[in-house]
Structure 1
Amino acid sequence: MARPVTNSTFEELLRAAGYDNAHAAFARQLNHAGRDQGIWRYDAASIYWWLRGRRPGEHVQAAMAETLARKIGRSVAITELGFGAGGGIGLCAYPATVDEAINTAEQIWTKLAKRLSQQASGTFDSGKAVEAALGWRYDLPDQTVSWNGRQQVTSTDVHSLYALANHFTDLDRRHGGGSPRTRAVMAEFLVRQVAPMLHGTYTDAVGRDLMRAVATLSGQLAFMSYDAGEHAMAQHHVTLGLRLARAADDRLYGAHLLANLATQAVFLGHGREAARLIEAAIDGAGRAPAAVLARLYATAATAYGQSGERRACQLALTRAERALDRTGTDPGPRWAGYFSPAHLAGAALRCLGDLHMHMQALRHAPDALNLDSQNARTRALHTALVAMTHARAGDTEAACNWSWQVAQHAARIRSARVQQRVRELSTTLRPQQASPRVNEVLQTLAAMSAAS
């Protein structure tokens, strides 16, 4: 069943220009109008989605207004097209085509690079997140992603992008994603180096690997933005990454990105939407390697735990544990290697705590802290979770002991997520602030938060 038109203003303009039953013809004229940029390949499907709520870039809208004006015989303002005001980054629609994803990516990278130390506006849109999951899971595959543009792109060029992604991943895990300068530098590289590659000349095989590499970079930038508390920016980048992973025909990395989106939804309290997202990821991953399945089921457990679905949560934990046991013989892609028994234990600590099963949750505490040195942020997050779980279990003495460690670990990390968990820990301890020791801990945590 076709989706209903939501942009009736644009529909009326198409009708006035004689394109109401000739969407492909309008797309061809639009491509002709954008020929100087050498990057547009819109078709009737693009028009379909624009009529149903998706928003093209502002430069594309200018060409649309020009194309319509020639047929109608009068000037058409961009504001007449019905797409709403631009300039924000909160629109997290899943792009209908690869070309739209590339155009949107370049726009958002440019805005991020220019913003430098400013903070983004906008909030997480759980409805758009579910739409992106459905688009990734059910849209038809791209027949080809080959392209003829300004510069030749080779496999060697693409492999250099993976090295860059690894570098930023390591920085993020060690120091957190809270530095706006780091994200701006990454965005500037994407604008100057990666965008021209996307607009270059490449075969279908090289193009799919390029889409996979850029999806990896977009996913990393999304996670850094999420860690910094810029949730609209994070959602936009992970949505772009999902579309590019789809173009790369890499269902496993797409499932990983969707799990990241579900993790963000859990952090923001959207447990039921997170469950839908991770269910789509597990379904789309199919017969995935054990390492990928372990991560997906661990994320599912946290979503079910927050939603109060005890049976589903415990079943997901069991499946994650069984999958993790098989990773020695079924390791999967290299990017999945980060997920360790400590990460699974952290998920168990979180979801069992959400279900008020505090003593069962604390059984996972030793494993949750058995982390490599480069996982500084995860150590801070897990330590705070251990302290909070002790407090909720009624062991104030143990909670204070762990809170001192939280202060030591968190002081070295720039992460909005770590700061949020510190605030949750303080809120949990506050009813006991009459105790001199608890009061001292609260003052230390407050001073640390103020200094960050």
Structure 2
Amino acid sequence: MARPVTNAAFEGLLLAAGYGNAHAAFARQLNHAGRNEGAWRYDAASVYWWLRGRRPGDHVQAAMAETLARKLGRSVAVTELGFGAADSIGIRVYPASVDGAIDTAEQIWTRLAKHLNQNASGVFDSGKALEAALGWRYDLPDETVSRHGRQQVTSTDVQSLYALADHFTDLDRRHGSGSARTRAVMADLLVRQVAPMLRGTYTDAVGRDLMRAAATLSGQLAFMSYDAGEHAMAQHHVMLGLRLAKAADDRLYGAHLLANLATQAVFLGHPREAARLVEAAIDGAGRAPAAVLARLHATAATAYGQSGDRRACHVALAKAESALQRMGADPGPRWVGYFSPAHLAGAALRCLGDLHLYTQALRHAPDALNLGSQNTRTRALHTALIAVTHARAGETDAACDWASKLRQHVAGIQSARVQQRVRELANALGSQQASPQVNEVLRSLAPVSAAS
């Protein structure tokens, strides 16, 4: 099955230049334009992959622009080709091999540990996200992941990594991930402990479990980066986690990571891409445990809600609720144990609010706050969302009451997502600033929304 085109800009130029159905001809002209660079042997297959997210070198892009300019009769800037800037950390979208995934892991963990990504993390790239999703879903499984290296790795060694992941997960839920130091500490542990294990000696069975543990750690670091607003770094770690989950032959955790990527896409306002990502996750998960399906369909509902697809949103919510009712007999993997009726209620509150169904949305407010004490950040996010929904419904007094409750929940939390939701509340109340009550709420929440 052909993969979908992700570089619409390049496709448009090929069509305009008459190469829409003549990719081989374009490749021949490109080889001629680059003759001074050596013996290029690009062909129609090369064009196929360029249209689907692969990025040629800068010198190749220059020859592409020259080739297209001759046909179009005008100058063509390299920036028009749609390939973007070179990756700030130089990794592949989705490593083709297990060895490539191990190299990538060590590289990005090392750079994060050294703070080299600070102030230069880039932006979320939906094309790369979709390419990684397709690779995870359709690439052949790895025949073996056994390895011979310096360090012997045992099942006991791998179990210690799960304990490490649990520790950082708990910190993240209680305090948020806004601290760059916390993420750097985690990355440093990955460099010093996990990377040597990945390059060690292990059987196929131990190796699969090691890949699963490394995927879990990469997924947690991805979510922490997302919560901190480091969206490109979060995406890199999710894509790495997807490849490691593939090596582990763990389709359920891979689906979970894709759903996390979809959640990030919703946060950044890319609902169509989010829907495609979570649809790939649901398809790849197959006959999954009820808890996993509940989480996946809840994420799908948020994507459909943001895109304005009312029918699809309601269908996804119904599927999530049905799965949630079956969770008692089918709890699923340990990593999905966090997902509760409160999390589904929060998703319903969000997507129904996006559809302007405020009365329906607010019916889920009580359940959305029925959270365990460890879910400090989620409580703040849901409280802010309730306030935002009241404000958008025109219920200013109720919005202010919930905003007052929010102040006690945001103390001690470092989270770009919480800050963003507080800004949404301020925007929703902005037209009522003449009200002393609203003015007081906005003044009290200003330090939160402005925090860095």
Q: Which residue of 1 aligns with 2:376?
A: 376
Q: Which residue of 1 aligns with 2:177?
A: 177
Partner of 2:186: 186
Please report how far the alpha carbon of residue 153 of structure 1 lies from its aligned counterpart in structure 2 after TM superposition: 0.8
Whether contact under 8 Å (2:419, 2:451) holds in the other structure is no
Alpha-carbon contact 1:114-1:184 (below 8 Å) kept: yes
The offset of 1:149, in angstroms, is: 1.1
- Number of aligned residue pairs: give it: 401
Distance in 2 (alpha carbons) for counterparts of 1:147 and 1:183: 29
**Retained in 1: the 8 A contact 2:301–2:351?**
yes
Does the 8 Å contact 2:245/2:251 carry over to 1?
A: yes
Please tell me the residue identity of whatever aligns with 2:231: H
TM-fit CA distance, 1:116: 7.1
Unaligned runs of 5+ in 1: 22-47, 57-82
Q: Distance in 1 between matches of 2:207 and 2:118?
A: 34
2:419–2:448 CA contact under 8 A, matched in 1 = no
Match of 2:270? Answer: 270
Could you tell me whether the CA contact under 8 Å between 1:120 and 1:230 is conserved in 2? no
Q: Aligned ranges for residues 73-92 of structure 1 at < 5 Å?
A: 88-89=88-89
Q: In the alignment, does 2:159 pair up with 1:162?
A: no
Instruction: Indicate the SS of the match to 2:265.
Output: helix
Q: What are the residue-to-residue correspondences of 1:11-410 with 2, within 5 Å?
A: 88-89=88-89, 93-115=93-115, 118-410=118-410
What is the one-letter code of the residue matched to 2:276?
R
Q: CA deviation at 1:408?
A: 1.8
Residue type at the aligned position of 1:420: Q
| Distance verdict in 2 for CA 1:188–1:332, change over 3 Å | same
For the residue of structure 1 that corresponds to 2:371, the secondary structure is coil
Whichever residue aligns with residue 198 of structure 2, its letter is L
- Report the 3-state secondary structure (helix = DSSP H, G, I; strand = E; otherwise coil) of the residue aligned with 1:338: coil
Q: After superposition, give the CA deviation of every residue in 1:373-406 in whole Å (9 maximum; x if it has no partner).
A: 1100000000000001011111100000000111
Amino acid at match of 1:108: I
* Aligned counterparts of 2:42 and 2:109: Cα–Cα separation in 1: 34
1:91 and 1:360 map into 2 onto residues whose CA distance is 44
Instruction: State the alpha-carbon separation in 2 of the partners of residues 178 and 55 from structure 1.
Output: 32
* Cα distance, 1:119 vs structure 2: 3.6
How far is the alpha carbon of 1:436 from its aligned partner? 0.6
Partner of residue 61, structure 2: none
In structure 1, C-alpha distance between the alignment counterparts of 2:238 and 2:52, rounded to whole Å: 22
**Separation of aligned partners in 1, 2:192 and 2:260:** 27
How much has 1:216 moved relative to structure 2? 0.1
* Helix, strand or coil at the partner of 1:115: coil
- 2:223 is matched by which residue type in structure 1? F
- Show CA shifts across 1:44-80 (max 9, x none): xxxx989986579xxxxxxxxxxxxxxxxxxxxxxxx
Alpha carbons of structure 1 residues 168 and 120: separation in structure 2 relative to 1, 3 Å = farther
Give the TM-score of the pair, scaled to structure 1.
0.83
C-alpha contact (below 8 Å) 2:226/2:264 kept by paired residues: yes
CA distance in 2 between counterparts of 1:225 and 1:237 reads: 9
After the TM superposition, which of the residue ranges 441-450 and 391-400 deviates more from structure 2? 441-450
* Alpha-carbon contact 1:117-1:181 (below 8 Å) kept: no
Deviating above 4 A after TM superposition, structure 1's stretches of 4 or more consecutive aligned residues are 1-9, 15-21, 48-56, 83-87
CA contact (8 A) 1:90 1:123 kept: no
Which deviations, in whole Å up to 9, do the C-alpha atoms of 1:121-156 show, x marking residues without a partner?
Answer: 200001111111111111111111111111111111
- How many Å separate the matches in 1 of 2:90 and 2:122? 5
Q: Which amino acid aligns with 1:179?
A: S
Q: Give the Cα separation in 2 of the matches to 1:318 and 1:120.
A: 41
Q: Is the 8 A contact 1:301 1:317 kept in 2?
A: yes
SS, match of residue 337 in structure 2: helix
Per the TM alignment, residue 191 of structure 1 is displaced from its structure 2 partner at its CA by 0.9
Q: Residues 263 and 220 from structure 1, CA distance in 2 versus in 1: closer, same or farther, beyond 3 angstroms?
A: same
Task: State the 1:88 CA deviation.
Answer: 1.1
Where structure 2 has 5 or more consecutive residues not aligned to the other structure, the ranges are: 4-22, 57-82
2: CA distance, partners of 1:207 / 1:184? 26
Q: Is the 8 A contact 1:225 1:231 kept in 2?
A: yes
Evaluate the alpha carbon distance shift between residue 119 and residue 92 of structure 1 in structure 2; reply closer, same or farther with a 3 A threshold.
farther
Alpha-carbon deviations, 1:350-391, whole Å to 9, x = none? 000000000000000000011111100000000000001011
Query: How big is the shift at 1:89?
Result: 3.3
Q: What do residues 405-435 of structure 1 show as CA deviations (whole Å, max 9, x unaligned)?
A: 1122113210000000000000000101111
| Conservation of the 8 A alpha-carbon contact between 1:92 and 1:239 | no
Alignment-mate amino acid for residue 279 of structure 2? E
Rounded to whole Å, the distance in 2 between the matches of 1:85 and 1:184 is 25
**Secondary structure, in 3 states, of the residue corresponding to 2:327?**
coil
Segment drifting more, 363-372 vs 442-451: 442-451
Distance in 2, Cα, partners of 1:16 & 1:264:
42
* Offset from partner CA, 1:67-114 (integer Å, 9 cap, x none): xxxxxxxxxxxxxxxx99867138661111111111111111111011
Call closer, same or farther: CA 1:116–1:409 in 2, change over 3 Å. Answer: farther
